[in-house]
Amino acid sequence: MEERNKTLGEFIIEKQEEFMYSSGELSRLINSIRLAAKVVNYKVNKAGLVDIVGAFGEQNVQGEDQQKLDVYANETFMQTLINREIVCGIASEENDDFITIKGKDGLHNNKYVVLMDPLDGSSNIDVNVSVGTIFSVFRRVTPVGTPVTKEDFLQPGVNQVAAGYVIYGTSTMLVYTTGHGVNGFTLNPAIGTFYLSHPNMQFPKDGHIYSINEGNYVHFPQGVKDYIKYCQTEEGDRPYTSRYIGSLVSDIHRNMIKGGIYIYPTSSKSPKGKLRLLYECNPMAFIAEQAGGKASDGFNRIMEIQPTELHQRVPFFCGSENMVDKANEFMKKYQ
């Protein structure tokens, strides 16, 4: 079969032997995410026609206004994973705390926990700009048969067994890794099937795009200001092009294909950074590294940070290897 004609289901079955613990659970977990993504995609695509856009009237644990589609996506992904009885715990950016899940036998015998941002970039919903879903999968560290604890979720990113994102854009794509490279699958909406469209995705070593909200320039640390000026200086292959969508999934996805760096640093307004280590940075860092890119907090490798809380925020520099190295250079001058 031609590689690009493979469906996601066929690809998962074919690659199952690559999983370190090949019991079929991780394959079924990815399949569940595929199903939930199709359901959410359907709602996203008709968001302007039904009462699904706009604010829900509540705030999430971060103090941010929840969008109706945020809540819908959160419930869809959680219910799909719970109904399939393949995970023992879920943590979501939209929920204060993790939830523990029993298996079909009423026991806590499943091995995986999922952390997710069910709808990344939701402030873009009302204006019809791409949004996405981000997920991260770990094997539990507490004994099988017992309820999960916070320890199962507070693992460094290097322990991830899978991570991925869904981008609901001009086409809907599911991109994921299990530690053996990164592959992208595009949804054929006519038949509801994901097909392998982007095998072995790779960040170019160098790029010409920098993605940062320059409206916050005055609030950035000096290292970031200096790097932005470096990007704008006419020399060699510079100046670079500034491209910022404000949807992490979309910005990373574009930069992985075209070459670039995404930066969300600390600032005087967000002294710890704004992105969440567990729901956004770890999974994107895993994908970036598997695609030949890099991810840091400006100084250290993202995936080696030991989390201390579920909703921990960190600064995030992610993208083409040489661009992240150069940004880190500027940061270290002011360490």
240 belongs to an annotated ligand binding site: no
122 belongs to an annotated ligand binding site: yes
What's the residue count for the chain? 335
27 belongs to an annotated ligand binding site: no
6 belongs to an annotated ligand binding site: no
How many angstroms separate the CA atoms of 306 and 135, rounded?
18
211 belongs to an annotated ligand binding site: no
46 belongs to an annotated ligand binding site: no
Using the structure block, give the residue that is written with the tokens 């289901």.
9
119 belongs to an annotated ligand binding site: yes
| Cβ(101)–Cβ(141) below 8 Å | no
Based on the number of CB atoms within 10 Å of its own CB, is 5 exposed (0-12), middle (13-18) or buried (19 or more)? exposed
Could you tell me the CA-to-CA distances from 91 to 104, 106, 152 in Å, in that order?
20, 20, 10
How many angstroms separate the CA atoms of 67 and 65, rounded?
6
309 belongs to an annotated ligand binding site: no
117 belongs to an annotated ligand binding site: yes
17 belongs to an annotated ligand binding site: no
200 belongs to an annotated ligand binding site: no
How many angstroms separate the CA atoms of 46 and 31, rounded?
23
Could you tell me the CA-to-CA distances from 73 to 67, 176, 211, 249 in Å, in that order?
10, 19, 26, 15
Q: Which residues are annotated as a binding site?
A: 93, 117, 119-123, 213, 244, 274, 280
Q: Which residues are annotated as a binding site for Mg(2+)?
A: 93, 117, 119-120, 280
Q: Which residues are annotated as a binding site for substrate?
A: 120-123, 213, 244, 274
